Structure formats: structure tokens, C-alpha cells
């Protein structure tokens, strides 16, 4: 293929991807469309043995029937995998669950270790203006994302873990690998008072590229970049396919710590609008670069999710057979 034909092909798939996302307003959703895109990319790359092992675990999740009723997908195993990818965000509004330190614990239902929403698992902030590994003297991040990525993988690979433990753990691992690739889940900007901005949550921005909801915060702006939360079905499949054409797999040997280091560098270099305005306006150049970063990170998360699941399930399969019902 010539350089010109390669350029035209890439332009075609980019146009298709944009059309798929713009067919509905791009309102909400690294924690919906973005996570489903990551999950779809991973599902397509899983080998048959791992896919069946993953499906067998998810069939035992207490909310498996809820996922099927909500999505109405033709393939129940794929449906469960996609719905599991957003489940740790879905429970934020689920009254069966509670937020630690803000609400009283709710009764523990069958199949769950407890009903805590575990909001601290989603992030692991580092100051963007200081070396990532420096002893910067600021309060430690309350985020546990780095630790949980390792702990959850260990649980899934543990042949002594019960099926209930695996069923609870797997949606969290699927989701948190996606979170680790969002730059502002790995970094915050700290002021002279040593108070962080919560991964951009405390920085209001004006986004003219979303005319229905132009006033937002920086973290929400990044969460919204991959597409509309209702992206499902054939449109989801086509969007995921276009991402894999636009963005090839990254180096396969990266570790969760390296994923977070990548996100931290992106947050430092590209996640914050330039200038010192109290409420920055998102420029055309900034928006175009942010879209490219977000889409690439969603794709990279999908590739790495597939690699991680094949490693942890092959480990458990070798020791006690593929986990299933």
C-alpha cells in the first residue's frame, strides 16, 4: 500500500469513527461508551479459551440477569462483558450500595463481599508539576488505583479464590484498566496551598465543542471525549473496529505502573488547557489533540485488557482448570 493510499484509508476510518460518535450528542462517557469501547476491543482479541473462562465467571455475578435485561444483546456473554465494564460506575447511583464515610453501610446482599462503592479505587493522583517519583511532601493521594490493579489480577489468578470472589473482582479489573488510561485518573494539579484539584474536577472550563452543555469541569470534559453513553450494538462494534485501525497495539510488556506513568505524563503535558484563566476555554487545537489522546488511550486499554485477562486466566487454568460455573 502506498503512502497516499494509507493516508486515504486512515482518513476514511477516522471519518467513519466521527460519524458513529456524532450520530448522537457526545454528552457523557469515558465511564460508559469509553469503557464499552475498551471492552469490545478486548473481547475481539481474547482467545476462545480465555473468552469462555471470562464468560463463565461473569455468569455468576449477582447482576448478570440485570445486565441482560438492560442491554438486550444477542450474545449474553458479550453483553455481560460490556455491561461489566461500566458496573463499577453504575453502582454510584445504585441505592443497594453506599459511599464510605458519607453514608451508613447497606445490607450485604448474596454474592457481594459488602456493598461499598469503593470510589477511591478509580484514581491514583500525582502532582503534574513535580517529578512522578519525587518525595514532593504533599499529602498522599487517597486513590488506590495502582494497588487495586495488582490486587484484582492476583485474585483472578488465584486458584483458591472462590467463584464469588472472581465474579465480584472481574468487573472491577475490566473497569479499572480503562480508568488507568484516562490521564486525569492519574494526576492532579496542586496549588501553592498544596490542595489538589481532584484530577481536574475542581477546574471549571468552557467547552464550545459541546454546545448543549458548554460549562463543565476539566475531568468531565476528558470523560466525555470517547462518545455518547448509549453507544451500543453495531455502532459500538464499528467504532471499536475503527479505533483498532487508527491505533495499533502498544508495546505488550507494559505494567499497570507504566500505564499510570503514561497517563501522568499525558496529564502533565496535554490534559490542562494552556494559560492561567480562571475558567479556560477549550480551543480547537486543544480539543483536536485531546480527542486523539482519548481515543488512543481507549484503544490501548482494550489491547492491554485482553493481554491481562489472558495472562491471569491462563495462570488459573493451568493450576485448577478454567474457572467456570
How do residues 278-307 score in pLDDT, each as one tens digit?
999 999 999 999 999 999 999 999 999 999
Give the span between the Cα atoms of 243 and 39, in whole angstroms.
12
Which pLDDT belongs to residue 8?
52
Place of cell 471549571: 204
Q: Which residue has the higher pLDDT, 190 or 219?
A: 219
Largest separation between any pair of C-alpha atoms in the chain? 63
> Do 14 and 209 contact (CB within 8 A), yes or no?
no
Residue 27: pLDDT band (50, 70, 90) is very low
| Window from 21-35, 76-90, 112-126, 243-257 with minimum mean pLDDT | 21-35
Residue 137: pLDDT band (50, 70, 90) is very low
Q: What is the dihedral of CA 35, 38, 40, 43, to 10 degrees?
A: -120
How do residues 151-184 score in pLDDT, each as one tens digit?
999 999 999 999 999 999 999 999 999 999 999 9
Helices (H), the chain: 3-22, 35-45, 48-58, 64-71, 76-90, 145-157, 163-180, 218-224, 233-246, 256-266, 284-320
pLDDT for residue 207 is more than 80 = yes
Angle between helices 233-246 and 3-22 in degrees, nearest 10? 150
Which pLDDT belongs to residue 32?
86
Residue 112: pLDDT band (50, 70, 90) is very high
Contacts by residues 11-18 (CB-CB < 8 Å, ≥ 24 positions apart): 13/242, 13/245, 13/246, 14/242, 14/246, 16/238, 16/242, 17/239, 17/242, 17/243, 17/246, 17/295
How do residues 260-283 score in pLDDT, each as one tens digit?
999 999 999 999 999 999 999 999
For residue 304, the SS3 value is helix
Q: What percent of the chain has pLDDT over 90?
A: 73
How do residues 182-199 score in pLDDT, each as one tens digit?
999 999 998 877 788 999
Which pLDDT belongs to residue 125?
84
> Do 216 and 223 contact (CB within 8 A), yes or no?
no
Cell of 270: 496535554
Q: Which H or E run contains 216?
A: strand 215-217
> Do 197 and 188 contact (CB within 8 A), yes or no?
yes
pLDDT for residue 141 is more than 80 = no
Give the span between the Cα atoms of 287 and 281, in whole angstroms.
10
pLDDT for residue 91 is more than 80 = yes
Q: Average pLDDT over the chain, rounded to whole?
A: 87
> Do 27 and 228 contact (CB within 8 A), yes or no?
yes
pLDDT for residue 254 is more than 70 = yes
Place of cell 463543565: 216
CA atoms within 13 Å, Cβ hemisphere of 116: 9
Cα-Cα-Cα-Cα dihedral sign, residues 186, 190, 194, 197: negative
Give the span between the Cα atoms of 178 and 170, in whole angstroms.
13
Q: Is the pTM of this model over 0.85?
A: yes
- Counted residue by residue, the chain has a size of 325
User: 128 Cβ partners below 8 Å, 6+ apart?
Assistant: 187, 188, 189, 264, 267, 268, 271, 272
Give the span between the Cα atoms of 240 and 116, in whole angstroms.
32
Amino acid at each position: 500500500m502506498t503512502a497516499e493510499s494509507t493516508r486515504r484509508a486512515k482518513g476514511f476510518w477516522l471519518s467513519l469513527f466521527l460519524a458513529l460518535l456524532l450520530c448522537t450528542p457526545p454528552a457523557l462517557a469515558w465511564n460508559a461508551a469509553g469503557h464499552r469501547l475498551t471492552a469490545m476491543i478486548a473481547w475481539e482479541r481474547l482467545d476462545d479459551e480465555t473468552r469462555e473462562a471470562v464468560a463463565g465467571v461473569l455468569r455468576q455475578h449477582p447482576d448478570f440477569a440485570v445486565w441482560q435485561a438492560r442491554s438486550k444483546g444477542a450474545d449474553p456473554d458479550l453483553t455481560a462483558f460490556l455491561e461489566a465494564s461500566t458496573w463499577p460506575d453504575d453502582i454510584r447511583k445504585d441505592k443497594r450500595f453506599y459511599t464510605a464515610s458519607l453514608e451508613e453501610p447497606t445490607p450485604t446482599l448474596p454474592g457481594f463481599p459488602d456493598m461499598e462503592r469503593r470510589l477511591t479505587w478509580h484514581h491514583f493522583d500525582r502532582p503534574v508539576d513535580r517529578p512522578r517519583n519525587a518525595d514532593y511532601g504533599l499529602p498522599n493521594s487517597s486513590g488506590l488505583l495502582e494497588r487495586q490493579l495488582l490486587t484484582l489480577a492476583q485474585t483472578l489468578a488465584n486458584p483458591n479464590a472462590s467463584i464469588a470472589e472472581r465474579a465480584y473482582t472481574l468487573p472491577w479489573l475490566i473497569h479499572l484498566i480503562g480508568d488507568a488510561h484516562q490521564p486525569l485518573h492519574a494526576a492532579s494539579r496542586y496549588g501553592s496551598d498544596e490542595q489538589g484539584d481532584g484530577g481536574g474536577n475542581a477546574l471549571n472550563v468552557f467547552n464550545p465543542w459541546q454546545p448543549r452543555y458548554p460549562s463543565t469541569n476539566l475531568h468531565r470534559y476528558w470523560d466525555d471525549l470517547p462518545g455518547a453513553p448509549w453507544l451500543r450494538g453495531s455502532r459500538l462494534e464499528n467504532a471499536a473496529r475503527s479505533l483498532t485501525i487508527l491505533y495499533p497495539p502498544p508495546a505488550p510488556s507494559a505494567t499497570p505502573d507504566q500505564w499510570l506513568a503514561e497517563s501522568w505524563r499525558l496529564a502533565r503535558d496535554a490534559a490542562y488547557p494552556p494559560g492561567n484563566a480562571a475558567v479556560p476555554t477549550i480551543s480547537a487545537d486543544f480539543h483536536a489533540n485531546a480527542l486523539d489522546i482519548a481515543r488512543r488511550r481507549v484503544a490501548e486499554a482494550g489491547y492491554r485488557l485482553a493481554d491481562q485477562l489472558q495472562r491471569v486466566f491462563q495462570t488459573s487454568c493451568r493450576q485448577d482448570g478454567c474457572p467456570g460455573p
